[in-house]
Structure 1
Amino acid sequence: MARGLVSALSAAALAACLAAPAGAFYVPGTTPVDFKNDDPVTLHVNKLTSTKTQIPIPYYSLPLCAPEKVEEVGVSLGGILTGDRIESSAYKLEFRRQAKCQVLCRKVNSEEEGNSLAERIEQEYTVNWIIDNLPAAVVFADQNNEDNVRYQRGFPLGAMTADAEPVAIIFNHIGFHIKYHRETEENRARIVGFVVEPFSVHHEYEGEWSEKTQLKTCNPSQPVTRQMLAQAVAGGGEVIFTYDVEWEESDVQWAHRWDLYLRGSEDAEVHWFAILNSVVIVLFLTGMIAMILVRALHRDIARINDEADDDETGWKLIHGDVFRPPSGMFGPMMLSVMVGSGVQLLCMTIALMIFAVLGVLSPANRGGLATAFVSLFVVMGSFAGFVSSRLYKMFLGKFWGRNAALTAVAFPGSVVTIAFVLNMVLWSRGSTLALPFGTMVAIAALWFFVSAPLVLLGAYIGFTRDAITPVTRVNTFARTIPTQPWYLSPAVTALVGGILPFGAIFIELYFIMTSIWLSQPYYLFGFLALVIVILGITCAEISIVMCYFQLCAEDHRWWWRSFFTSGSSALYIFGYSIVYFATSLDITDPASATLFFGNMLMVSITFFLLTGSIGFLATLAFVRGIFGQIKVD
């Protein structure tokens, strides 16, 4: 009955997180939309992003053309967390109606507005538009191979000239190239491609400006070319925005319209080879470690159980202390809480990978990955409470309520604290990543009214069960630990133990960080799932090996070491982020650097709990297994 209640609450929580009233969230494009000739086609604008600052800003925070009334389109929780702010635009598009040199608007910018545009152009901000849930893209073609065409989402707001003193120019003329696929009916079709070609042109005209003014630089007899004088923006002045619209029939079906956006980059083959090479190396190393360990253990157990051999040496001598609960400030309470939180993250990761591999997390569903991340973490709280309480009871703890409360608060509280500081930085910069007050209330409600009750329920179920008993009796007094060699000190074993798990993922980590911080698409979830499996095996084996060496040295204090051995790989993750920041990013703004390292700190904490818990649980099973095989009087 208790299990059924947990399952029911988990399902209800997941439904509450993912479900929404009809029309409440912006998810067009997940179902086909049929257009007829001359039907209006809506273009939405999204945030402006920059890989140089990592701080997205609202589209209309700059002096760009806006409709008379800007209408916001609702986004999902994941969309808000990723900074999406989708709004209406001033562009007037009609299905399959060609258009040339349409004037969007004329802006006369003040000096401050012009300098603001120039600053954002220098910071390499990118414009993000959406038509029928397809992002605007620019095409990059290989001059040596015409078939090698790549699509990059978004297009630059402007560019810096190559003069001795660079000048910021804005792309104020956009050529729309929209592709459609004709369906069964002659006059019905679906949009399958959205490409833009940006130009910068200093428009000229005669006389005073009016709505009927004809441009000398853009008219039916004079198309825009790249040889025209570019439009500078620094210092303010007049900027006229224009556009062309070209419709083209395509053989691409609606179901495959995202394939072009997800096409691999130029180094895709290197990426695949590097991952495969890493997997083979890690499998070889872990296989060798497992083989050596199994052979050594088999020999040890055979010698120990030999009735003619009464000489007890090595790890058998500490059978009366090996299950002695940890003590001190970081005692059974904190260890059980951290392992419980790690199990919650592990369950969330497994479920997330299953959904990703099955294709449930479609790129058409904006913010779907972030929404699934939050939702799955919330509903996995019951596993955290159950595991934490079971370990705490095994350590002879009595305050299960305090244990459950810490499990529900410790990890989420630390992440929320860091996120709150980063949110204040983003809020001061007017970024779309800054969470609105309503979103913060919604996340707090998920935490306190869904996640925390599930943790408490799981903890109650775990604590009411019989305690996990040690396989050998614990002595009243602890045995004296002999002097340990330097290479078995806690710091050395932790640092050495973290190298192998980090080595299993560092190549994949590069591509994931590039996807996050350089806005490159990442879709190889099958390889990622394989790497995560290899990571789990590596964490388990390296923790077991280090624990075995420690037990052979007659040191029974293995509880925390087994956690830190594999969990220390988080130190290498954070260290790698420093190297990545210095070599791959061009960030000089303190706020942007704070955002980067704050996020990487949260990632490192998460990775520490996840890998540490895998190592601890594997070592616990190993210790119980080997001491359960020996004969003890």
Structure 2
Amino acid sequence: MMDRAIRTGLRWTAVLSLVLSQAEAFYIPGWSIKSYTKDEAIPLMANKVYSDNTQLQYAYYDLPFVCRPTGQRRLGDGLFSGQNIPLNLGEVLRGDRITVSDMELTMEHDAPCNLLCNREISRQELRRARHMVQDGYVVEWIVDNLPGATCFVTVDKTRKYYAAGFKLGYTDHSTGHPRYFLNNHHTIVIRYRRAPGRAGERGGKVVVGFEVYAKSIGLADKRGADSCPTDLHDVQQNFELYLPSNKTLSATDAKQQAPKLDYSKLSYKPAETWEDDDSDLDDDDSDLDDDGAKLTIPYTYSVYFREDNSIEWSRRWDLYFVNQEEGLKVHWLAIVNSLIICGLLTSIVLVIVAKTVRSDIKGYTSKESSVEDGKSGGGLLGRRGGKRKSGSGSHTPREKGKTIPGLLDQHVAAGDLLDQGGESSDDEAGALEDITGWKLLHADVFRTPRNGHLLAPLVGSGMQLLFMAAGLVLLSAFGVLNPSFRGGFISFGVGLFVFAGLFSGYFSARVYRTFGGQDWRKNTAVTAVLFPGLLFSAVFVLNLFVWAQASSTAIPFGTLVAIVALWLGIQVPLVYVGSWYGFERKGAWEHPTKTGSVPRQIPQQAWYIRGLRTVLLAGLIPFAVIFIELLFVFQSMWQDKSGYYYVFGFLAVVSTILVLTIAEVTVVTIYIQLCSENYHWWWQSFFVGGGSAVWIFLYCVWYYFVKLQITGFLSSLLFFSYSLMACCVYGLLTGMVGFLTAYAFVRRIYGAIKAD
């Protein structure tokens, strides 16, 4: 039966891999090359608009003020305008909505100007456009899997670099009152070169650059018969998103009147008159929504093809990263910083293991053997009779009935040691007093923790997340996952997480049985449902808010059903298989010492090893290891969504150092706690390992108020909610590392006592 379950799990895993990585989406530089011959049509696709000031994205063709595709033109690759491109799971989750546009691009054919459409909008749609321009929304178009980019030049003017996307419009504050202008003309520059190999010999060309230069051209500028501006270089007036009351302004009227009338004669008032004109479209002017006024926006575009042999096809994405090369020195600084901290911790751990622990073990065993082989012949606890020797080394007699931590798994009274007036020798009493600290906990250190039935699933989920994170970082560092593989990072992340259910079930079951659990099926259910269920519930609730805003960031209902199917149909069976193997075949981990029946009394603890204080102090060190690299990660995620995080090699090194640092910090912290005779280390090791998550969340709060300019309640809610979820994921992963490291350390030192 188990063989059948394993085969079923492998079969579902294979199906999952096919679903998550579609053939047309998989793309690695140097492998998949699309070449075009002369006069061949190149499809241009519109994706979405996004902003650094808000977390809400929108599909480009869902905007009410842009030209909609007609669905009549057939373009290259068998596509037609208005066709929706199939997306993989990662693309859907990241808010992509890719649709083929009406723009005609033909290889090596320039088009100085083409009219796309004359879009007529109402006041309500005008208000929507102004709000999006004010929020700084950026448009993403795609040609040959390259995002349309705004071109910049470095300060020394020796190199250029790309910033993905281009502005929807801009805001002018020069008059003291904000004026909003829409970019309604786009100059498209396609850079190409000869295709490598046989395709190039047959005249094939490959696209190596896609640049978009957006421009705002007003209605007063002279236009030709095709409604295109006659002079694109000398623009007299920009297109302002302003509509006077009860006026309809069309492109045809403007074209006929522009040669005869100046700007003031058009029903298009300059901003200087706004203060005295109550017809301005403000947020509170809802009474003007139904007055029937319309504004016509002429959209035009130009296309130019330029041969550029300086860019290799396999290196065409490098232009998007040139502006980030200056950050390489900071990345190296982050690694050096991490290595210094990790090196210091390694030295401390070596001192503890090589000197303190070994000397403690030797002192423990030597004193125990000297007492057992002493002159009395009866051992420290078995000696009866005799008198205490007097001298300078004499000790004050202990009060009868006072409990003294003994070497066995119980509390022994001083009266039992002296046995009705009998006295112990100085050597035996000295041996008793010298044996202190962590050595006294050998009968309590492996005592089952409270709520161990919850700790085991958390450890299993942490191992599942570790497998997913390690796989993503390695695949990205080797170049398999890169910005050209749109949505690949998230798709592979979901796939690795689902497959890692095997490891989650295995480790959860073994920890659960080590804690003495018997109902492994119940533990399996908790492991498979607890963390994924909480995460899915949080995402679903947030998704309801985003749905209400009609944002492409909202996960479609069908995708939610597919995610639930992956969770319940694939991950849960894999967790079951891993749990069965870990519980039935491997069983519990053996402890080197036996647990006593009576728990020890824990003495008063120092302030720095009490609960949350320990977690915060210990978590500050791993945070110091990664906070420099977090600057780049946060900038890519929140501050510059048009950029791409690409230095996964540095991230892999820093992540490795982070894991080592967490392991060493946990070892040192738990050792100090054991020396204070506190054997409640199970949960403490988990919390100490994940303690840096608290500092990362506090860093997110600081980043929000200092670095970001996010506006709106919903965007702020999404930021803090996603940040909290990310920190919880990080805390589970690092908490698992701390737990297993502390467990291995404790077994090692107490096993050494037993061996000696």
What is the 5 A alignment of 1:158-169? 158-163=169-174, 164-169=176-181
Look up the SS of the partner of 1:297 in the other structure. Answer: helix
8 Å Cα contact 1:107/1:240 also seen in 2: yes
5 Å matches for 1:19-418? 19-20=18-19, 26=25, 31-62=32-63, 63-69=65-71, 70-142=82-154, 144-163=155-174, 164-183=176-195, 184-185=200-201, 187-204=203-220, 213-215=225-227, 218-219=229-230, 222-225=231-234, 227-235=235-243, 237-251=295-309, 252-265=311-324, 267-294=326-353, 295-306=355-366, 307-308=369-370, 310-311=431-432, 312-327=435-450, 331-418=451-538
Contact 1:201 1:224 in 2 (8 A): no
C-alpha distance in 2, partners of 1:577/1:58?
28
| Amino acid aligned to 1:622 | F
After alignment, is 403-412 or 503-512 more displaced?
A: 503-512
1-structure distance, mates of 2:687, 2:655: 19
CA contact (8 A) 1:282 1:534 kept: no
Is 1:553 the counterpart of 2:676 in the alignment? yes
> 3-state SS of the aligned residue for 1:323?
coil
Alignment partners' CA distance in 1, 2:12 and 2:321: 32
Choose 1 or 2 for highest CA Rg: 2
Q: Which amino acid is the alignment partner of residue 223 of structure 1?
A: L
Aligned equivalents of 2:3, 2:742: Cα separation in 1: 27
Q: Residues of 2 paired with 1:11 and 1:263: CA distance?
A: 42
Cα deviation for residue 274 of structure 1 reads: 2.8
Q: 1:298 to 1:205 in 2, by over 3 A?
A: closer
What whole-Å deviation, never above 9, does each CA across 1:315-347 have from its counterpart, x for those lacking one? Answer: 1111001111012xxx11001111111011111
Distance of 2:10 and 2:652 partners within structure 1: 24
Shift of 1:107: 1.6
Q: Deviation per CA, 1:203-243, whole angstroms, max 9, x where unpaired?
A: 4478xx9xx8244x723xx2334x53100123352221111
**Closer/same/farther in 2, CA of residues 167 and 21 from structure 1, 3 Å limit:** closer
- Helix, strand or coil for the counterpart of 2:523? helix
Q: Is structure 2 residue 688 aligned with structure 1 residue 565?
A: yes
Q: Give the gaps of 5 or more residues in structure 1.
A: none
Q: Deviations over 1:286-330 (max 9, x none)?
A: 223223322221221121121337432111111001111012xxx
CA drift of 1:594 comes to 0.7
**Equivalences, count:** 620
Cα separation, 2, equivalents of 1:445 and 1:53: 31
Bigger drift between 538-547 and 255-264 goes to 255-264
- Residues 77-98 of structure 1, C-alpha deviations (whole Å, 9 max, x = no match): 0000000000111211111101
CA distance in 2 between partners of 1:21 and 1:489 (Å): 46
Change in 2 beyond 3 A, CA 1:423/1:533: same
Larger deviation, residues 10-19 vs 228-237: 10-19
Aligned pairs for 1:419-434 within 5 A: 419-434=539-554
Change (3 A) 1:467 1:631: closer
Query: Are residues 625 and 96 of structure 1, via their aligned partners in 2, closer, same or farther at CA, if it must alter by over 3 Å?
Result: same
Q: In structure 1, what is the Cα distance between the partners aligned to 2:58 and 2:523?
A: 42
* SS of aligned partner of 1:265: helix
TM-score (norm 1): 0.94
Contact 1:205–1:213 (CA<8 Å) still a contact in 2? no
* In the alignment, structure 1 residue 623 sits paired with structure 2 residue 746: yes
Distance 1:148 1:190, change over 3 A: closer
Mark the CA change 1:631 to 1:437 in structure 2 (over 3 Å): closer, same or farther: closer
Give the whole-Å Cα distance in 1 for the aligned partners of 2:10 and 2:23. 21
Tell me the equivalent position of 2:412: none
CA distance in structure 2 between the partners assigned to 1:382 and 1:23 by the alignment: 24
Contact persistence 2:185–2:299 (CA under 8 A): yes
CA distance in 2, matches of 1:361, 1:269: 20
Counterparts of 1:204 and 1:107 in 2: how far apart (Å)? 17
* Contact in 2 for aligned 1:28/1:132 (Cα 8 Å): no
Partner Cα distance (2:467, 2:9) in 1: 13
2:665 corresponds, among 520, 529, 542, to 542
Letter in 2 for 1:397: G
Q: CA deviation at 1:10?
A: 5.9
Q: CA deviation at 1:187?
A: 3.0
Structure 1 CA distance for aligned equivalents of residues 347 and 667 of structure 2:
13
Check whether the contact 2:453–2:523 (CA below 8 A) recurs between aligned residues.
Answer: yes
Deviates more, 1:528-537 or 1:60-69: 60-69
Identity %: 36
Q: Answer yes or no: is the 8 Å Cα contact 2:16–2:495 preserved in 1.
A: yes
1:17 aligned partner: 16
The alpha-carbon deviation at position 491 of structure 1 amounts to: 1.8
Determine helix, strand or coil for the equivalent of 1:585.
Answer: coil
* 1:485 corresponds to: 606
Tell me the CA shift for residue 354 of structure 1. Answer: 1.9
Preserved CA contact (<8 Å) 2:690 2:731: yes
Instruction: Please report how far the alpha carbon of residue 23 of structure 1 lies from its aligned counterpart in structure 2 after TM superposition.
Output: 7.7
- Give, in angstroms, the shift of residue 3 of structure 1: 9.2
Q: Give the aligned residue type for 1:280.
A: L
Is residue 389–residue 403 contact of structure 1 (8 Å, CA) maintained in 2?
Answer: yes
Q: Could you tell which deviates more after superposition, 238-247 or 440-449?
A: 238-247
Contact in 2 for aligned 1:24/1:74 (Cα 8 Å): no
Supply the distance in 2 between the matched residues of 1:270 and 1:466 (Cα, whole angstroms).
49
Paired with 1:154 and 1:38, the residues of 2 have a C-alpha distance of 27
Match of 1:576 in 2: 699
Counterpart AA for 1:102? N
- Report deviation, 1:391: 0.6
Superposed CA deviations along residues 471-495 of structure 1, whole A, max 9, x for unmatched, are: 1011111111112222221222111
Alpha-carbon separation, structure 1, partners of 2:754 and 2:157: 73
Counterpart of 1:256 in structure 2: which amino acid?
Answer: R
Change (3 A) 1:467 1:360: same
Distance 1:338 1:446 in 2: 20
Matches within 5 A, 1:480-559: 480-517=601-638, 518-519=640-641, 520-559=643-682
Is the counterpart of residue 452 in structure 1 residue 572 in structure 2? yes
Cα gap change, 1:248 to 1:632, in 2 (>3 Å): closer
Alignment deviations for residues 30-83 of structure 1 (CA, whole Å, 9 cap, x no partner)? 721121111111000001101111110111222101221322111100000000
Distance in structure 2 (CA, Å) of the matches to 1:9 and 1:599: 34
Answer yes or no: is the 8 Å Cα contact 2:84–2:99 preserved in 1. yes
Distance 1:430 1:268 in 2: 37
Judge conservation of contact 2:149–2:211 (CA < 8 Å) in 1.
Answer: yes
